[in-house]
Amino acid sequence: MTAVHRPTPVVSSLSQRRDRFLRACRREPVDCTPVWFMRQAGRSLPEYRAVRERASLIEITRDAALCAEVTLQPVERLGVDAAILFADITTPLAGLGVEYDLVEGVGPVIGRPVSTVGDVGRLRAFDAAESVGPLLEAIGLIREASPVPLIGFAGAPFTLACYLVEGRPSREFLATKRLMNEDREAFAALLERLVEMTVAYLRAQVEAGVQAIQLFDSWVGGLSPYDYERSVAPHVRRLFQRLAALDVPTIHFGTGTAGLLHSMAEAGGDVIGLDWRVSLADGWARVPGRAVQGNLDPAALLGPFEAVESQARWILEQTGGRHGHFFNLGHGVLPETDSDDLRRLVDLVHEATVTCGGGGGGPVGDARGRDSDEAAEPVVA
């Protein structure tokens, strides 16, 4: 068997670890590239599986102490540079009066899907304190205990609309696209209602203590550029314009979005998340003036760690020493992932990008510290 190099964890001061992620969001110099993982608190961790033996996902989000415990589990085990609040993308929908269930092996199943402007009109006004009070309480508990920043999050209007219209997870989103094209009034009314809810939900998270927010547009990659620009982008733009007043970094992430990155960046977000279907260099070239997050294929971690290391170093090389990159997967951690490999990946990224005196956080030997607007961009065909 080929010996695998095991990186020595980078020894950093508490202040460096606390600031690393937020500095990268602002495209400022860091001591090494920060790392966090989408779905880092979840089924890949044995301590999370132990919690799930006594509580459902919904029950965890409605118990402040339990939610805080699960959110903090990967911070301790994996050594990541940010925590992300443990919740489901559909968590705030109950505050609209939507009845749904999280079905194991299926996902969110909506009791009464939305199909008309009348259905939109029946949605309740969202009250964060009433709807997600325990989640907001958990934020305070996490902030007291966490050595790293806390990310809050919400689903983007289009992705939430897909759940509400389809009634359950879909691959084609035919009912949603039909509504978007046949009844533009109803579709626009639904997205506007979801914008209002999301602004209130994220404002409450920031007021409770989260230090950055990520907007997950998990299903937006199913849209053509025409449909995104015409029917979705105006709502997302208004959402980010209103989030600007919260004065925290914003991350805009979607999957299957290589063809939409420029439009997504124009819609908003201080940081643009890249999935694994585009190279980091190519993706960054499409969103000039922004920090980027990404973008290792989550499935790579199901194979030998030699392959993980090779791909991770390839991604890091594409930063060119520019400020404003933090390492993540291109989507969420898969349940089958070995948590020890996640820890080794964190250590690898830290060690490979450590700088002397707070450089660019790029690979060792290339700490030029260039801003993403000033760096030589690769040619994009």
- Active-site residue (options: 43, 124, 168, 368): 43
Q: Which long-range contacts (CB under 8 A, 24 or more apart) does 169-174 make?
A: 169/106, 169/107, 169/108, 170/219, 171/222, 172/222, 173/219, 173/222
- Active-site residue (options: 48, 163, 201, 228): 163
| Distance of alpha carbon 35 from alpha carbon 333, whole angstroms | 13
- Does residue 163 carry a catalytic annotation? yes
- Does residue 52 carry a catalytic annotation? yes
- Does residue 88 carry a catalytic annotation? yes
- Active-site residue (options: 17, 20, 39, 290): 39
Q: 52 burial class (0-12, 13-18, 19+ CB within 10 angstroms)?
A: middle
| Distance of alpha carbon 310 from alpha carbon 56, whole angstroms | 37
- 304: tokens are 């030998």
- Active-site residue (options: 18, 63, 88, 101): 88
- Active-site residue (options: 18, 52, 237, 368): 52
| Distance of alpha carbon 369 from alpha carbon 325, whole angstroms | 11
Q: What's the Cα-to-Cα distance from 57 to each of 36, 90, 178, 204, 239, rounded to whole Å? A: 21, 11, 32, 21, 27
Supply the residues annotated as catalytic: 39, 43, 52, 88, 163
